[in-house]
């Protein structure tokens, strides 16, 4: 999961995270989604650059670590609410501790459900330090092997006080050595929890699924085209002025599709296209 940022989208709305601009852009928005991403990063949309600047001013520094922690039982329940019960009931569940994510429930189906915080995803996301961000996601086995570990590593190093440069160098090394394997075909994430908090903007939440693809952008998927239900953006950075930095990392895009129900089967508002 990646905390994701979606701009130019109307309706109610990540795993921090994925900036998407649809042309022509509508004035409404859904929300910024945490991977991030997870990841997970997630996740979450802001209403244009003015809102992004305001968010950055609102959260200029990391809050005390305890502000990002949850009751363990509540975090497990929120994480599992990201996917339908048929999937989440057999999933591994991570919870956040003062030093990073740890396994709270060991599953059997290869899925990993967890709750991203703002700093689990892109370092230039305006709500990175927002302590209210709770982006529940459930990564499938392919994503759990190749994308979720990036967010886990980033989170642990952030909580340890490491610099963004150190974190990026460590991620590059993990990818180069194969410690974290390349993104596998079919890597995806469920983000269908009706109690996630993805952003201060809009309705704070949006039911959707995300697909991780080893591409520079989502053009081959028709992402962000007028009338397309697919939104897409770069996994590594929120703002487009990081192209040089992104070029030093493996190409990785996050493609998002809204869904009509929450994980419990109740209706969810769909974003306009």
- Please state the rounded mean pLDDT for residues 156-180: 96
Rounded to 5 degrees, what angle do the CA atoms 162, 165, 167 make? 55
Residue 69, domain member (yes or no): yes
In the chain, the number of structural domains is 1
Residue 272, domain member (yes or no): no
Residue 229, domain member (yes or no): yes
Per the listing, tokens 């396994």 go with 103
pTM of the shown model? 0.84
Portion of the chain with pLDDT greater than 90, in percent = 67
pLDDT in tens, 108-142: 999 999 999 999 988 889 999 999 999 999 999 99
Work out the number of other CB atoms within 10 angstroms of the CB of residue 28: 16
pLDDT in tens, 3-34: 544 443 333 334 434 444 444 433 333 333 43
Distances (CA, A) of 6 to 43, 66, 70, 165, 237: 8, 28, 26, 25, 13
How many whole angstroms from its chain centre is CA 178? 23
- Which residue range is the domain that position 176 belongs to? 48-258
**Residue 5: phi, psi to the nearest 5?**
-115, 125
pLDDT in tens, 48-89: 334 555 666 789 999 999 999 999 999 999 999 999 999 999
CA separation for the pair 72, 36 (Å, rounded): 22
Q: Write down the mean pLDDT value for the chain.
A: 84
Residue 11, domain member (yes or no): no
pLDDT at position 38 is 34
Question: Which residues does residue 138 pair with via DSSP β-bridges, in sequence order?
Answer: 113, 190
CA separation for the pair 117, 197 (Å, rounded): 10
CA separation for the pair 94, 96 (Å, rounded): 7
């Amino acid at each position: 999961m990646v905390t994701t940022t979606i701009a130019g989208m109307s309706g109610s709305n990540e795993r921090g995270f994925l900036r998407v601009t649809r042309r022509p852009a509508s004035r409404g928005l859904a929300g910024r989604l945490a991977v991030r991403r997870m990841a997970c990063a997630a996740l979450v949309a802001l209403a244009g650059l003015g809102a992004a600047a305001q968010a950055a001013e609102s959260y200029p520094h990391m809050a005390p670590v305890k502000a990002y922690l949850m009751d363990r039982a509540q975090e497990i329940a929120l994480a599992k609410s990201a996917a339908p019960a048929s999937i989440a009931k057999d999933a591994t569940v991570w919870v956040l501790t003062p030093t990073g994510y740890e396994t709270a429930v060991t599953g059997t189906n290869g899925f990993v459900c967890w709750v991203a915080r703002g700093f689990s995803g892109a370092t230039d996301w305006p709500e990175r330090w927002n302590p209210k961000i709770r982006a529940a996601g459930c990564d499938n086995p392919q994503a759990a092997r190749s994308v979720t570990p990036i967010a886990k590593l980033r989170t642990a190093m952030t909580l340890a006080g490491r610099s963004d440069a150190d974190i990026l160098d460590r991620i590059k090394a993990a990818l180069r050595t194969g410690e974290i394997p390349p993104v596998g075909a079919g890597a995806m994430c469920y983000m269908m929890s009706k109690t996630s908090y993805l952003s201060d903007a809009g309705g704070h939440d949006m039911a959707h699924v995300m697909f991780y693809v080893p591409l520079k952008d989502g053009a081959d998927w028709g992402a962000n085209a007028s009338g397309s239900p697919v939104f897409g953006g770069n996994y590594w950075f929120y703002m487009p002025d990081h192209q040089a930095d992104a070029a030093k990392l493996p190409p990785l895009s996050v493609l998002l599709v809204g869904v009509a129900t929450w994980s419990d089967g109740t209706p969810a508002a769909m974003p306009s296209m």
